[in-house]
Amino acid sequence: MEPQEAWKRLEKALLSALNTVLRRWASQRLHRAYAGATRVYVELEKGWCGSALTPTWLAWHPPRIDPSTATPRQLARLAGRTANPLAAAYAVAAVNAATTAYIASTPGAAPRPLRPGEEPEALGASRGARVVMLGYMPGLARTLAGVGAHIILVADYARQLLERAISDGYTVTWAGDLGRIRDAIAGSDLVVFSGSAVLDPPTLLTEASWAREAGARTALVGPTSSFHPAVARELGVDKILGAYVDPRLCPRLAASTAAGGGLRGVRGRLVYWAWG
């Protein structure tokens, strides 16, 4: 898929949710929005907040965003128009905030909460499943291995995470080695993307198409992909595992983001969920 086409596909995916189930929050102005060293934080005027990973492994430039006039819908269009990964992070964080509002405000519409250790069941990864992990998540890797799933390849851009995966006993490759990744996907049952993969739509959509060709299931996992499944469907992804941030925790998340952290620095009611 051509890069510009992929970026327009991300825009379409975000707008597919904002123009339907999330319409109520699509035109809310932002209360504040900024990028920390590791996370982007977006808070809507009604107090709902969301975050996304700052795409430090990609080339980006600071997008021109005026929180006093910007809305989630405008941010989604900006991401598609500029093909800017940081603009995409702002847009995804805003859609995550709208998704949290939807979950809290729509009776019977909430995704299934996850207890610790339930991730393999939610992903459909039983004993013997062959898993490709695109973006290393050590905790999830341990949980998958604990039920007998086999992680056949880990790919990441971060040297530190690749070294961690090697020390944990996994076969690794640099995330730019698409030939090796495609070969691994061809022999897999499940491809697990870090949620931050959505900030690089040309690569995400290419790898998701390889998974479909191989008959493998796909999932986006992590706080960055805490959005409504309408987004995942448009991106060709089967499942998402995300997190609900109680709005009372938004000041803590804002402070954690400003200090260079993210959700892990927030103590309080975080609810992890699965959708799809």
Q: Is the pLDDT of residue 267 over 90?
A: no
For residue 263, give the 3-state DSSP assignment: helix
**Using CA atoms, how far apart are residues 257 and 38, in angstroms rounded to an integer?**
7
* Neighbouring-strand partners of residue 53: 39
Query: How many H-runs (helices) and E-runs (strands) does the chain carry?
Result: 11, 11
Spell out the residues 6+ positions from residue 5 whose beta carbon is closer than 8 angstroms to its own. Answer: none
Contact criterion met (CB below 8 Å) for 119 and 98: no
Beta-sheet pairing, 190-194 with 217-221: parallel
What pLDDT shows up at residue 272?
Answer: 86
Distance CA(196)–CA(110), nearest Å, equals: 22
Single pTM value for the model? 0.95
What sign does the CA torsion over 35, 41, 251, 68 have?
positive
> How confident is the model over 90-115, as pLDDT tens digits?
999 999 999 999 999 998 878 889 98
For residues 124-147, average pLDDT: 96
Residue 133 pLDDT greater than 70, yes or no: yes
* Each residue's pLDDT tens digit, 4-46: 999 999 999 999 999 999 999 999 999 999 999 999 999 999 9
Q: Two tokens at 199?
A: 């900030």
Give dist(CA 225, CA 139) in Å, integer.
Answer: 17
Domains and their CATH numbers in the chain: 3-110+247-275 (3.30.390), 112-240 (3.40.50.11590)
State in Å, rounded, how far the first CA of the chain is from the last one.
Answer: 25
pLDDT of residue 242: 94
**Closest by Cα among 222, 227, 221 to 262:** 222
